[in-house]
Amino acid sequence: MKVAFLYSTTQDRNFREVSRTIIKTLESVGIEVRYLGTWPETYHYGYGENPFDELVENSYLNARIYVVLGYYFEHLGLMVSMEKRGLLDKGDYYVVGVDIEQYEIQNPRRYLKGLLRDEIEDVAKKAFQSYLGVVGSPPVGFEDFTVKVNKYMQLPPFNFPNPVSRLGGMKRVPAEGAYLYDAVYVYARALNECILHEEDPFKGRVIFKYITGRTYFSAMGYMVYMDENGDAEGNYTLIARKSVPGVNGEYGLYPVGVFQLHENRSAVPVLQFISSIDWVAGFPPSAEPNCGFHGEKCVMWKLAVGVTGGLVLVLLVGILVAYKNWAYEQELDSLIWKIDYKDIQINECTPTTSIGRICRNLHPLIRTSQVSLSSNAEADFRYTNIYTTVGIYKGRMLAIKRLRKKSVDITRKMKKELKFMRDLRHDNLNPFIGACVDPPNICIVTEYCAKGSLKDVLENEDVKLDNMFNASIIGDIVRGMIYLHDSQLRSHGNLKSTNCLVDSRWVVKIADFGLHEFKCGADSGDDDSTDFEKQCARENFRHVSRHLTSLNQRTEK
């Protein structure tokens, strides 16, 4: 157990001698005094600066149990100081007050209100729930001793008359009379034992041997122990806060236990409880936190928990990374972008065919890149120079762009590229639906934009574009390119009006970007198109340039 010990060094009473005895007793039973503090002058609560504020500030991190020695009214200052600091709220701290005076059984409320105050403050009522007092036991048999003294004083050889004895009165016997009686009794008992053991009664050491280490029943009415120095240990009572009987909301300090010596042959008495203690938390506070006052007892535990937690965290991160990689590889191997060419219904869009009827329902006037819009307002369905193949896949009209390649070698890099394109989504980017990789039907499948390309719209004399519409078109292109530049692609590589498609809601969507690995080796026969091999070379050059630029920026930083 570890405690903080505070005591008064005032010259009024010799508290220093008592403090040395207390410290010695604490150490003898294995109690460590972690903090030793004093205050020099007698303190009355409410009058002057409270010396306990500084003492508590310097000690509360090193102890939870306080032992305080001083006048009973000084204990009030310590309790209020700890209460105002909030140390007593949860029941982690408590105070053991030592009062060298006898317990005043007629006035148990005096301990809570102080010496110069009439009423008990609420803060004191609350604070003293965490207080236990050790006081001298009141004399329980002193009246009987007084009666006997008055009786024997009137008998020979003393013959001291008592004029008021006929009226039932008695002479007052001071406490020193009881102490003198105890001294004679102890000496007489030691002398008697010395004679019984046939030892020399004129040797002081022999008499002293039969005095020390024994108990006797004092004339004050309680048992007293004689220590190894021949000093009489007092008889003490334990007091704690209790409700005043018959008075609601009022408290005083009442006996809850006594220290018994008659069955104890050691210097430390045994505490016998006579009443329960109202602990703040419902149970006695611990003298020390589980991990010590500064966490020193949980260093290895915390280290073990930290290492274990770190290993578990690393393991979880490793599992998560492995799972994500596994899931990513599974998704790559699943080829969700792959479309079987046989599942696409491709036929010429004529009014008499089923495909044509779908075409008519989806859009009354098919426009694609390389299609010049008719200026005839009366034509409600016209087919002219359709260079982009249109097909139906799972009920959706899609644009199919064929690649002139003999075969496709699906590498891991190409899988990642196709998956990325499949996941890339933005309102101003024409979404990639999938690809067909079985020769000779190697093609790219994207969303079909019903209004054709931006070039088609600009060439149509029937379409009048105002400034707001032009701004909307420009905004769509800018937003699409910003998103594209912020993605892994970083650039388009072939942006032109024919690659800016317009859907049925007049939203511009950028098309024909990415898929450089997939397109490499393909040859386009269109005059308006660029050879894919040259495009692949350009894209590779851009990739190297971006890599060098990134390295240069990091070097500059």
pLDDT at 312 over 90: yes
| DSSP 3-state of 299 | helix
Residues 129-158 have a mean pLDDT of 87
Q: Which residue has the higher pLDDT, 508 or 259?
A: 508
| Residue 531 pLDDT class (50, 70, 90 cuts) | very low
Residue 261: per-residue pLDDT = 61
pLDDT at 314 over 90: yes
Residues 144-165 have a mean pLDDT of 85
Give pLDDT tens digits for 47-67: 889 999 999 999 999 999 999
Give pLDDT tens digits for 246-263: 888 889 999 999 887 655
Please tell me the distance from the alpha carbon of residue 442 to that of residue 524, in angstroms, as a whole number. 13
Q: Which of the residue ranges 16-20, 97-101, 158-162 would you say has the lowest mean pLDDT?
A: 158-162
| Residue 459 pLDDT class (50, 70, 90 cuts) | confident
- Tell which residue, 124, 68, 74, 78, has the closest CA to residue 98: 68
| Residue 373 pLDDT class (50, 70, 90 cuts) | very low
Q: Where would I find the beta strands (DSSP E) of 54-93? A: 65-69
* DSSP-assigned letter for residue 374: P
Residue 3 structure tokens: 């405690």
Cβ(181)–Cβ(208) under 8 Å? no
Q: How much of the chain exceeds pLDDT 90, in percent?
A: 42
Cβ(494)–Cβ(512) under 8 Å? yes
Please tell me the distance from the alpha carbon of residue 251 to that of residue 113, in angstroms, as a whole number. 10
Residues 339-348 have a mean pLDDT of 82
Residue 371: per-residue pLDDT = 38
Please tell me the distance from the alpha carbon of residue 554 to that of residue 557, in angstroms, as a whole number. 5
| Mean pLDDT rounded to a whole number for the chain | 83
- Tell which residue, 94, 98, 120, has the closest CA to residue 107: 120
Please tell me the distance from the alpha carbon of residue 406 to that of residue 336, in angstroms, as a whole number. 22
Q: How much of the chain exceeds pLDDT 70, in percent?
A: 84
Residue 504: per-residue pLDDT = 87
DSSP 389-452: EEEEETTEEEEEEE---S-----HHHHHHHHHHHH---TTBPPEEEEE-STT--EEEEEPPTT-
Residue 524: per-residue pLDDT = 58
Please tell me the distance from the alpha carbon of residue 285 to that of residue 169, in angstroms, as a whole number. 50
Residue 547 structure tokens: 């890599």
Cβ(267)–Cβ(286) under 8 Å? no
Q: How far is CA 61 from CA 65, 92, 280, 288, in A?
A: 11, 12, 20, 10
pTM: 0.52
Residues 230-236 have a mean pLDDT of 78
pLDDT at 543 over 70: no
Give pLDDT tens digits for 271-309: 889 999 999 999 999 988 888 888 777 767 667 778 888
